[in-house]
Amino acid sequence: MKNFQQTDKNGFYGRFGGAYVPEVLYKTVEDLKLQYSEIIECPDFRTEYRQLLKDYVGRPTPLYHARRMSRQYGCKLYLKREDLNHTGAHKINNAIGQALLAKRMGKKRIIAETGAGQHGVATATVCALMDMPCRIYMGALDVERQRTNVERMRMLGAEVFPVESGNMTLKDATNEAIRDWCCHPGDTFYIIGSTVGPHPYPDMVARLQSVISEEIKWQLREKEGRDYPDYLLACVGGGSNAAGAMFHYLNDERVNLVLAEAGGLGVETGQTAATMQIGTMGILHGSRIKVMQTEDGQIIEPYSISAGLDYPGAGPMHCNLHETGRARVLPINDDEALCGAYELTRLEGIIPALESSHALALLPKLQFRPDDVVVLNLSGRGDKDLDTYLKKLVCYHKTQ
Ligand SMILES: *Cc1c(COP(=O)(O)O)cnc(C)c1O
């Protein structure tokens, strides 16, 4: 059987992945590759990491049996409550792990890039906690659009650096962060927020997030008497919450994996972020993946109502899961995600993040048997999305 969990020795999942970095970063990335797994597997690191996940982040997060939603979809639905983490999403699991790693590697300074600001906030939070100086690159347009997250990062003590080049969004912020890294490879650690970037980042982020599926296993054993679900559902931006929720099940063919990517206004409209549907092979962020690009290799600006999902690529692990058919990947349009959000809110009293709402909108597209156990990774909470939800309330009433 194929191994979907592990890269080959060059950092590839099937045809996807690798490390395409400028010459000056070669040694830095190589050092990271040589050290990361030894450090994150060592008992000392694990004790410190686990302690922070427990006492600071609030783990384990509950696995909640959503009874009214279950009735609606004719299955036994459990929600993995990553929305209850400190800072409101799964991203903190990874940020803490990488900051601890940075310390152990003797790095003095942290950089990161952020689109909507969620990864920036998680990184700034961890840098405050660990007393490390931190610079966050963010497209100038995103700085305008995500004012409250910028204010949060500044309150936490991070320096937010607005990037004025290109479209002034995530891709430009990423380029600028890589440029910074090239200038300070010795003392600076680059915290990447998803299962993207050059090897070993995708593997490292997947392993740091794999605490999610580790918990699902014992929680299901407690509740269902077996440690695997029939279906596992998650949304994909770069892929970290999906990778974490699926990690221990990737090679278990009893588990159906279903991923939601952001369809935007519709895959056929061009106003979309459904990379795995319309992307072609390219190199983005140091990795060989499916990329939304023109014929001459210019990145097409992605669109989604959800800021966390509008990335013009998808992580190499997920591209491979899609290409091999191990996971089903369905595009979910803005209006479908909004309906998913309202449904969860009204049936269970939980307001989900817009990103997570894309995973919820998979439910009406799947056929379940009544005794199917379905686990849906609720990656984050919706406080940050209230303005969008309230503006679109009218759309919900129309569908009633
Ligand atoms: C950032 C974010 C995502 C998308 O990122 P992944 O790396 O694909 O998980 C999904 N949900 C929430 C709540 C986010 O903040």
In angstroms, what is the span from residue 263 Cα to ligand 1's centroid? 15
In angstroms, what is the span from residue 380 Cα to ligand 1's centroid? 8
213 part of the active site:
no
Q: Which of 181, 185, 196 is nearest to 311 (CA)?
A: 196
CB within 8 Å of 263: residues ≥ 6 apart: 272, 273, 274, 277, 304, 331, 332, 333, 334, 336
Cβ of 313 below 6 Å from ligand 1: no
Cβ of 353 below 6 Å from ligand 1: yes
Quote the CA–CA distance of 94 and 25 in Å, as a whole number: 22
Q: Is residue 125 within 8 Å of residue 92, measured between CB atoms? A: yes
Which residue's alpha carbon is at the smallest distance from atom 10 of ligand 1?
A: 355
Quote the CA–CA distance of 83 and 380 in Å, as a whole number: 4
Stronger pLDDT, 189 or 391, i.e. the higher one = 189
The mean pLDDT value of the chain amounts to: 96
Quote the CA–CA distance of 179 and 200 in Å, as a whole number: 19
pLDDT at 297 over 90: yes
Can you tell me which atom of ligand 1 is nearest the CA of 309?
Answer: 4
Quote the CA–CA distance of 115 and 121 in Å, as a whole number: 11
Please write the tens of the pLDDT for every residue from 49-97.
999 999 999 999 999 999 999 999 999 999 999 999 999 999 999 999 9
In angstroms, what is the span from residue 23 Cα to ligand 1's centroid? 31
379 part of the active site:
yes
268 part of the active site:
no
Quote the CA–CA distance of 156 and 267 in Å, as a whole number: 38
Quote the CA–CA distance of 213 and 277 in Å, as a whole number: 26
* Angle formed by the axes of helices 43-52 and 91-104, nearest 10°: 140
This prediction's pTM: 0.97
pLDDT at 395 over 70: no
The whole-number average pLDDT for the span 332-357 is 97
Please write the tens of the pLDDT for every residue from 216-239.
999 999 999 999 999 999 999 999
Q: Is the peptide bond before 200 cis (omega within 30 degrees of 0)?
A: yes
pLDDT at 167: 86
Alpha helices in the chain (DSSP H): 26-41, 43-52, 67-73, 91-104, 118-130, 140-145, 147-155, 170-183, 201-209, 211-224, 240-246, 275-278, 316-323, 334-348, 354-360, 386-391, 393-399
Q: Please report how many Cα atoms fall inside a 13 Å half-sphere around the Cα of residue 167, on the Cβ side.
A: 12
**For 54, which DSSP code?**
I
pLDDT band with cut points at 50, 70 and 90 for residue 307: confident
Q: Which of 85, 84, 79, 86 is nearest to 348 (CA)?
A: 79
pLDDT at 383: 94
Paired sense of beta strands 231-235 and 63-65, if any: unpaired
State whether residue 383 is helix, strand or coil: helix
In angstroms, what is the span from residue 50 Cα to ligand 1's centroid? 22
Can you tell me which atom of ligand 1 is nearest the CA of 241?
Answer: 9
Task: Report CA 5 to chain centroid distance, whole Å.
Answer: 16
Quote the CA–CA distance of 268 and 266 in Å, as a whole number: 5
pLDDT band with cut points at 50, 70 and 90 for residue 145: confident
Neighbours of 147 (CB within 10 A): 11
Can you tell me which atom of ligand 1 is nearest the CA of 89?
Answer: 13
The catalytically annotated residue of 304, 379, 384, 392 is 379
CB within 8 Å of 161: residues ≥ 6 apart: 135, 136, 137, 138, 176
Identify which of 80, 90, 121 to mutate to test ligand 1's pocket (most ligand atoms within 8 A of the CB). 90
Report the percentage of the chain scoring pLDDT > 70: 98
Q: Is residue 311 within 8 Å of residue 286, measured between CB atoms? A: no
